[in-house]
Chains A and B, each alone.
Chain A
Amino acid sequence: MSATLRPKKSIAGIRLAVVYVLLLALALFMMGPFLWLLSVSLMPGKNVFSNPPAILPTFIDFDNYVKVWQFMNFPKYIYNTVVITALGVIFNVILAALTAYPLATFRFKGRNLVFTLLIATMVIPSSTAMIVHYLTIQWLHLTGSFLGVVLPSAVSVFNIFLMRQTFLGIPSDVRDSGKMDGASEFRIWLQLVLPLVKPAIAVISLLEMMAFWNNFLWPIVVLDDPQKYPLAAALTFLNGQFSYNFGWIAAGTMISVIPIITVFLFTQRYYMEGIAGAVKG
C-alpha cells in the first residue's frame, strides 16, 4: 500500500485525516451518551432537563455517588449480582467443558445424534421458553432462589459448540499418554486437557459474565423479594422510585456499569478473539 502511495504523500495525508475524523465522529456517537451520563452523575442537584440541558459539568463532585450508595444498599445488590454471575459462569464453564469433551474426543454410539440434536436447538427460536421455564422453576421449588435465576441458562449449546471446537484441536497423544500412566478419564480431563483450553474457558467466562451481570428480566420474574435483585434489576426499581433525582440515578447506573466495562477493557483481547472465533468455528 505504502509503495503505491509514496509519490502522492499529501493525498495519503488527507486520506488519513479523513479516516481519523470519521473514527472520532463515530466514537462520539457510540461513547457520547456514556460520557454524558458520567457528566450528569458528577453534577449534584442538576436537572438533566434544564434549558439549555446540562452537558458538561461545571464542577466535579462525588456527592451523588455517596448519597445513592447510602440510600440504595449497594453492597447487598452487588453481592447478589456477584453471586448470580459467579454461579452462572462456574456452571457454564464446567458443564460446557464436561459435555463437549466426549463429543470431541470419544468414539461412542449416538455421538453424532447428540451433536445434531444440540445444533438443531440453536436454529429453533424459543419465545415461549420463559413461560415454561417459570413453570419448571416453580415445580422445582426454586422460585425466590439464586439457583432458580441461574439454572435455565446454566449451560448453553453455543458454549458446548465453542468448547468442542477447541477440544478438537488437542492432539490425541495427550489423552493416550494419560492412559498409559493409568489416569482415569476424569483426571485426564481435569489435569491434562483443561489446562490446554484456558483461552476457550476465558472466552466462555467473559461472555457469560456479561450476560449474567446485565440480566434483569428473568431475575425479576423468579425472585419474589426486591432485596434479592441483582444490580440491573434494582436499577429499574430505583429509576421508577426516584425519577426526579437524576444525579442519583446517573450515579447508580455508573456504579452498575463500571465493573463490567472494566472487566471488558482488561480482557477485550480474548473476548474479541473468542467472538470472532465463534463465527469461524
Chain B
Amino acid sequence: MKRWVWTESYTAWAFMAPGLALIAVFVFWPIIYGIPLSFTDYSVISETHYVGFDNFVTAFHDKNFLISLWNSLLYVIIVPIIQIISIMMAILVNGKIPGVKIFRTAYYIPVVTSMVAVALIWSWLLSNNGVVNFFLLKLGLINDQVAWLSTSSTALFVLMFITMWKGLGYYMMLYLAGLQGIPSDLYEAARVDGASRWRVIWSITIPLLRPHILFCTLISLMGAIRVFDEVYILTKGGPGTSTLTSSVYIFQKGLEQFNFGYASALGLIVSILVGVLSVLVFRFNQKGGVNPY
C-alpha cells in the first residue's frame, strides 16, 4: 500500500513537471527576480551595482512617473461605467426574442479582434477630418473639428472610450452567464407581488449578480491600471505626457531605454498599488458597498 502511494505521487510529479517548470521560469521567477533587480542599476550598457532604495527615491521624484501613476488611476473611472453598461447589455440580450444570438455575437466581435486593428480603425474615425467629427458637426454637438487623439485634454478620455468599447462584449458575456444562472421562479414571485421592471432588476438581478460584479470589477480594474496596447499604438503616452500610463512608462524605461533596474522598481510600486486596490475592492464588496439590500 505504501509503495503504491509513492508511485502515484511519483507519477503525479512526472505529469506536472513540464508545466510546473515553465510556470516556475515564466510566472514565479519574474515575481521573485523583479524584487532584487529593483535595488540595482542593472542596464545592458554598464556594470551592475546595488543601489539600495535609490530607484524608489528617484521614482517618487520622477515627475513623469507620478504623472503616469495619476493617469493610470484616472483610467479606473471606466471600471464602474463598464459594469453599468455591460450589465444593461446583458439584460437586454438575455431575453428570449428571435435573433438575439446574432446580436450577442455582434457585440462580441470587438473582443475577438486585435487591438492593433481596433486602434487603427478608431484613429481614423477620430481624426480631424474623420467620420466622428463629421457626424458631431452635422448634429451640432461641436462647433469645430476636434483632434481627439492629439489634444491633451481629450486624448486620455478617448483611449478610455476605446478600451471600454473593445471590452464591453466580454463583460456582457460574463454577466449574461450570471443572469442565466438566476432561477426564473424568483422573477415569477416578484411579478406576482407586482414588482416593477426596475424594482426587479434592483432587488433581484443585481444582488444575485454580486459574485460576477466582483469578478468583473477586479478584472477590469487590473486591465485599466495595466492598460498598454491601445496607448502604445495610438499615442505612445503623448501628446506631452497626457496619456502616459504607468505600463507605457515602465515599458519605455525597461525595454526601450534598457534601464531594467529602475523599470523593475517602478513595476514593483505599481504592483503593490494594484494589490492594495484589489484588496480594497474585495473589502468594499464584503462590507456591502454594492449591496443594495
By the criterion CB–CB under 8 Å, are A130 and B251 in contact? yes
Q: A23-B93, A26-B92, A131-B34 are in contact. Are A98 and B129 (CB under 8 A)?
A: no
| Docked-complex contact B113 and A261, CB < 8 angstroms | yes
Partner among A107, A128, A232 whose Cβ is within 8 Å of the Cβ of B250: A128
Min CB gap A259→B, angstroms: 11
Cα distance, A106 to B12, chains bound together (Å): 7
**B131 lies within 8 A of A36 (CB):** yes
Q: Give the A-B pair count, Cβ closer than 8 A.
A: 253
Closest Cβ of chain A: how far from B49's Cβ, in Å? 17
A131 contact set on B, CB distance < 8 A = 30, 34, 37, 250, 254-255, 260, 263-264, 267
Q: Does A125 sit at the interface, judged by CB under 8 A?
A: yes
Q: Closest CB-CB distance, A46 to chain B, in whole Å?
A: 12
Counting chain A CB atoms within 10 Å of each CB, which of B109, B268, B271 scores highest? B109
Decide yes or no whether A34 CB sits under 8 A from chain B.
Answer: yes
Scoring B residues 116 to 127 as 1 if CB is less than 8 Å from chain A, else 0, what string do you get? 111011101101
Q: From the candidates A126, A130, A246, name the one contacting B31 in the complex (CB within 8 A).
A: A126
Whether A106 and B11, one on each chain, are in contact in the complex, defined by CB atoms closer than 8 angstroms, is yes
A216, A277, A279 — which one has the most chain B CB atoms within 10 A of its CB? A279
Q: Is A205 an interface residue (CB 8 A)?
A: no
Partner pick for A127 among B13, B28, B131, B250, CB 8 A cutoff: B250
Q: Tell me the bound Cα distance from A51 to B278 in angstroms.
A: 47
Cα separation A121 to B32 with both chains bound (whole Å) = 12
List chain B residues, Cβ under 8 A from A280.
177, 181
CA distance A38 to B264 in the complex (A): 42
B81-109 contacts to A (CB < 8 Å): 89, 92-93, 95, 97, 100, 103-109
Contacts known (A128-B264, A131-B267); A34 close to B34, Cβ less than 8 A: no
On chain B, the residues within 8 Å of A235 by CB distance are: 114, 116-117, 120
Q: Does A48 contact B (CB under 8 A)?
A: yes
Contact of B11 among A49, A110, A157, A185 (CB under 8 A): A185
Q: Is there an interface contact between A268 and B124, defined as CB atoms closer than 8 Å?
A: no
User: B110 near A: Cβ within 8 Å?
Assistant: yes
Stretch in B17-25, B58-66, B151-159 with 4+ CB within 8 Å of A: B17-25
CA separation between A40 and B16, bound complex, in Å? 50
Confirm or deny: A245 has a beta carbon within 8 angstroms of a beta carbon on chain B: no
A53 contacts B130, C-beta separation under 8 Å: yes
Residue pair B125, A36 in contact (C-beta under 8 Å) = yes
Cβ contact within 8 Å between B18 and A279: no
CA–CA, A62 and B128, complex, Å: 27
Q: Cβ of A265 and Cβ of B105 under 8 Å apart?
A: yes
Shortest distance from the beta carbon of B5 to any chain A beta carbon, whole Å: 7
Residue in B9, B107, B129, B263 whose beta carbon sits within 8 Å of that of A51 in the complex: B129
- Chain B nearest CB from A131 CB (Å) reads 4
Residues of A with C-beta under 8 A to B109? 30-31, 34, 261, 264
Whether A128 contacts B128 in the complex (CB less than 8 A), given A34-B109, A155-B19, comes out as no
Decide: A279 and B174 in contact? CB cutoff 8 A.
yes
CB contacts under 8 Å to B, within A229-281, are 232-233, 235-236, 239, 246, 249, 253, 256-257, 260-261, 264-265, 268, 272, 275-277, 279-280
Residues of chain A contacted by B130 (CB below 8 angstroms): 48-49, 53
How far apart are the CA atoms of A153 and B25 in the complex, in Å?
11
> Is A96 located at the chain interface by the 8 A CB criterion?
yes
Q: Which residues of B contact A29 (CB under 8 A)?
A: 165
**How close is A26's CB to chain B, nearest CB, in angstroms?**
7
CA distance A179 to B2 in the complex (A): 18
Describe B's contact surface by its main secondary structure: helix
Decide yes or no whether B191 CB sits under 8 A from chain A: yes
Smallest distance from the beta carbon of B262 to chain A beta carbons, Å? 10
A132 CB–B CB distance under 8 Å: yes
Q: Are A30 and B168 in contact (CB under 8 A)?
A: yes
User: Would A124 and B113 count as touching, CB distance under 8 A?
Assistant: no
Given A127-B226, A127-B246, A127-B271; A253-B233 close (CB under 8 Å): no
A26-B107, A235-B116 in contact; A128/B268 too (CB < 8 A)?
yes
A43 to chain B, nearest CB (A): 13
- Bound Cα distance A235, B116 (Å): 7
Question: Is the C-beta of B232 less than 8 angstroms from some C-beta in chain A?
Answer: yes
State which residues 78-98 of A face B: CB under 8 Å. 95-96, 98
Q: 5 nearest interchain CB pairs? A: A128-B267, A276-B177, A99-B19, A108-B9, A214-B114
A: which residues have CB within 8 A of B?
Answer: 1, 4, 16, 19-20, 22-23, 26-27, 29-31, 33-34, 36-37, 40, 48-53, 55, 95-96, 98-99, 101-103, 106-111, 114, 118, 121, 123-136, 151-155, 157, 160, 185, 189, 210, 213-214, 216-217, 221, 232-233, 235-236, 239, 246, 249, 253, 256-257, 260-261, 264-265, 268, 272, 275-277, 279-280
**What would be 10 A-B contacts, judged by CB atoms less than 8 Å apart?**
A20-B97, A26-B92, A30-B110, A31-B109, A102-B12, A106-B11, A232-B114, A236-B116, A268-B105, A276-B177
7 more A-B residue pairs beyond the given contacts A34-B113, A55-B131, A152-B26, with a C-beta to C-beta distance below 8 A: A23-B103, A29-B165, A33-B121, A33-B122, A33-B125, A37-B117, A131-B37
